[in-house]
Amino acid sequence: MKKKKIFIAGHKGMVGSALVRVLEQDKNVSLVLKNRKQLNLLDQNAVGRFFKNNKIDEVYIAAAKVGGIYANLKFQANFIFENLSIQSNIIHNSFLYGIKKLMFLGSSCIYPRNSKQPIKENQLLSNKLESTNEAYAIAKILGIKMCESYNNQYYKSHKVDYRCVMPTNLYGPKDNYNEKFGHVIPSLIMRFHKAKLKNLKSVKIWGTGKPKREFLHVNDLAKITVQLMNLKKSTLDKHITNKCSHINIGSGKDLSIKQLSMLIKEVIGFKGKIIFDNSKPDGVKRKLLDISILKKLKLTPKEELRDGLVKTYNSFLNEQY
């Protein structure tokens, strides 16, 4: 039996490496993986040559420029240009070289700042975005709309089936633990870990600690994403429309940044105080995804947050030391 050739864009990152771990368990799959030196995803011609020379059956787009509030504010031009270039180059060349199935991974920041909670998929483009990550969010929205546009124009003639998932805040192995540029969980892990090693009396955290966030272990995301990719189109079509084709992937639970900080402090074993810097921005007050579609498809995540944080801290120690 011929193996299915699958290209994972961004296989070195947190999401991409989780997809590799899931897909390499399938004996009927042959993974095609290229690092940045081997394939520059910002180069449209290079991406075209890659697809021309490799007979790919399916594509997962996990490559993206990502970061927390500080990075999104400081590098707005980089965030919009690089993310638009990566996804456009891959989606268009996938179509040009006859690839029927593609999965685009976005982000829950696509939704308006003041979305009704929990956030249903149909709230996309219903109001203004959060200003602190607007550039990244717009790039991801365009990725969704690009997939929808290719489906709408080319499904009948070319059987194009490009799917989209919108994960909530992720954490897990191979995350970016930079205190300034990383997302909230890896940044807090690094901050508390350093404070523990230096025996500091306190750790300062941006914002009031009041905003609530939902978190999902990246292994759960990868498993659910692959299951959604492998769903029959007739089954998937019962839950989406051609103008609202993306599916939320989350845990269905949230907690405050203060509660999260206390939990990470406990997991790491830091004994000092937590000080919240009210002069720094909070971002959106709450962002909980509605995962009704996942529940209907019986594709809910398994990893509890505390257990996941323990595993993540252990993987952090192995990666750093």
Q: Which two tokens stand for residue 83?
A: 């993310």
Judge whether 126 and 136 are in contact, CB under 8 Å. no
Judge whether 144 and 104 are in contact, CB under 8 Å. yes
From the candidates 60, 111, 136, 171, give the one annotated as an active-site residue. 136
43: number of Cβ within 10 Å: 13
Q: Which two tokens stand for residue 12?
A: 């070195």
Length of the chain: 321
**Residue 162, SS3?**
strand
In angstroms, the first-to-last Cα distance of the chain is 43
- Count of alpha carbons within 13 angstroms of residue 283, beta-carbon side: 21
Pairing of strands 254-256, 212-217: antiparallel
Q: Which amino acid is at 130?
A: E
Phi-psi region of 79 (alpha: psi -120 to 50; beta: other; left: phi over 0): alpha
Distance CA 31, CA 281 (A): 41
- Tokens 């599916």 belong to residue: 247
Annotated active-site residue 136? The verdict is: yes
- Tokens 């998932």 belong to residue: 165
Q: Which two tokens stand for residue 167?
A: 């994960």
Pairing of strands 286-287, 202-206: unpaired
- Count of alpha carbons within 13 angstroms of residue 99, beta-carbon side: 30
Pairing of strands 286-287, 212-217: parallel
Helix (H) or strand (E) holding 52, with range, is: helix 44-53
Catalytic residue annotation: 136
